[in-house]
Amino acid sequence: MTRSASPVLRLVVSSTNPVKLRAVAHGVRNAFPDDDVTIASVAVDSGVSEQPATDAETLTGAESRARAAREARPDGDFWFGVEGGVEDSPQGMLTFAWIVAVDREGRVGRARSAAFVLPEAVAEKVRGGMELGHADDEVFGRTDSKRHDGAIGLLTSGALDRAGLYAPAVTAAMIPFLNPALYPAERG
């Protein structure tokens, strides 16, 4: 991205979830600490299931969301797809998120958040077809936890929340924009 003195970076996030908006704002500010940011949200379809059940499906959802956000709001500088997913593993059901960022030149940044094993009581509900946030709400007696602390916040008694889990991955997704000579734009 062409940089000017003291730019205001216009971020467009493909979600209205305040957790995802906070994570993107925080992660971009970490990557570009001298820049101001504005953030807009747009609801777009992921093109995948409501609860992605594999790493690959989760990444596909994040990529689809970032590109759809760019189409819906072409006035941005960066467009973000943030997709939470799950995947069964030998250790149990893991949960994580993929972050995809796209810039005006077609450069793409991708990063995955840390993953952790869900309790079996939650995993059983997800395997039965329930979205993770709804499963968390049922197991923990909460309402709309995915728009607040998420599974990680519930399981760590607030020591880490969902935005805090996702923000480092947002910063990592900005690596191609911090090092454009090493990451050519993707076309297609």
pLDDT value at residue 188: 54
Give the range of the structural domain holding residue 174, as residue numbers without chain letter. Answer: 9-181
H/E segment holding residue 83: strand 78-89
Is 59 contained in some domain? yes
Is 2 contained in some domain? no
H/E segment holding residue 11: strand 8-13
Total domains in the chain come to 1
Tell me the pLDDT band of 186, cut-offs 50, 70 and 90. confident
- Residues 73-130 pLDDT 10s: 999 999 999 999 999 999 999 999 999 999 999 999 999 999 999 999 999 999 999 9
Q: Is the pTM of this model over 0.85?
A: yes
Is 150 contained in some domain? yes
As a 3-state breakdown, the chain gives helix, strand, coil percent values, each rounded to 5, of 40, 25, 35
Give the CATH number for residue 35.
3.90.950.10
